[in-house]
Amino acid sequence: MSMEEINDKINYTEFAPAERENLDVIQDKYHQLLELPEIRAITDSIPDVLMILNSKRQVVYANLRLSELLGIESIDKVLGLRPGEILNCQHSNKNKGGCGTTIFCSKCGAVNAIQQSLIGQISVEECRIIDHDNNAYDFKVWASPYEYNGNKYSIFAIQDISSEKRRNALERIFFHDITNTAGGLLGISQVIKESPEEITEFKDILFDIASTLMDEINAQRILVSAENGSLEISNDPVNTLDLLNSVKNIYQNHLVAKSKTINIDKDSVDTTFFTDHTLLKRILGNLTKNALEAVNEGSAVHLGVRTKDDKIVFWVQNSTVMPFDVQLQIFQRSFSTKGLGRGLGTYSVKLLTEKYLGGKVDFKSNENEGTIFYVELPLKRN
């Protein structure tokens, strides 16, 4: 490969420019900024992370908070890097050009804010990042234009709002789901109170609602434990067809399945492997519920399982095609197509599968096949 071909690959981008300044130029600008009176005292007094970026979105200066966040003695190690590379964003190394150069970056609040500041506009955005260890973060970012010695810069500040976002989302989801289920429970209880002789007629409905209520409480407990790292994992024998039939039986009678059907692919493999049965059932149930919500009455959702080398692959399919901008953000914690605070469904699937079950979640969505989510797990688990 020629040097020109190497440079073309490095400079390839699907969104923001990929070109960078050399490290010696970066260091020269760093020392120029250090000559500004009181810059270190002023920037280090700011409680949040602050960086000064060059026109290529590279760090040429940062305050003490960034060093503390990364656990490094000085910022020398991060000079020339871009914010997503410093924060270990899972998209930051997908292209040779690095942070800002993938199609996913087009939905990143940080890149968009920086780009706006470099054309002279102050910008405030929110930024969602999942790192390479599947830790999810929510940031509020500010980017302001700045010029010095004839060079354009972006003053870029970051505030971690992950706890706030996490709490708001969990509370909204919890209270939304619990209120709906508790409302049904109250309705049935009132009927029984007024007509106690009809209790036999409603006992099955009452049991189903109570079971749903406990399931929703457990779902939130599992997610909270998963996010704070205290979730305990078991290693159970799981029969693939038994699991799919169990998921089908649960959701076929769910409210979201009204006038819809759930089919299990006839070629699904019948085998037993070891994983956490409860978590996997919840993962597949979540995907099945999402699929049912995505289709109209009279439609079907398809479940299946197959083997692939030393992996077992479950899949959930519906006929709806996701808009492209939704596909780019589908696994982000705070993103949702269902309204404010409803963004933990597919995020929890990815978190539980990849961080706790040692697997991988992926999807495809197109006109020919609709939307298919895949959950790939090892056939043998240590």
Q: What is the pLDDT of residues 192-241, one digit of tens each?
A: 778 777 777 777 777 777 777 777 777 778 877 887 788 888 999 999 99
Predicted confidence (pLDDT) at residue 323 exceeds the cutoff of 70? yes
If you average pLDDT over residues 88-104, what whole number do you get? 95
Q: What's the CA gap between 184 and 202, in Å, rounded?
A: 12
Say what the pLDDT of residue 30 is: 96
- Average confidence (pLDDT) over 37-44: 91
pTM beyond 0.85, yes or no:
no
Residue 1 pLDDT? 40
What pLDDT was estimated at residue 338? 55
User: What's the pLDDT band for 29 if we cut at 50, 70, 90?
Assistant: very high
4 pLDDT above the threshold of 70: no
- C-beta pairs of 7-14 under 8 Å, 24+ apart in sequence: 9/96, 10/96, 10/97, 11/97, 12/95, 12/96, 12/97, 12/101, 13/95, 13/97, 13/100, 13/101, 14/95, 14/101, 14/102, 14/103, 14/105, 14/106
Q: Tell me how far apart the alpha carbons of residues 86 and 171 are, in angstroms, rounded to a whole number.
A: 31
pLDDT of residue 257: 86
Given a cut of 50, is residue 3 above it in pLDDT? Answer: no
Express as a percent the part of the chain with pLDDT over 70. 90
Residue 238 CB coordination number (10 Å): 18
Span 75-100, average pLDDT: 95
Specify the range with the lowest mean pLDDT, choosing from 12-16, 186-190, 367-371: 186-190
pLDDT band at residue 342, thresholds of 50, 70 and 90?
very low
pLDDT of residue 335: 62
Q: HSE (CB half, 13 Å, CA atoms) of 298?
A: 0
Note the pLDDT tens digit of each residue in 259-286: 999 999 999 999 999 999 989 998 998 8
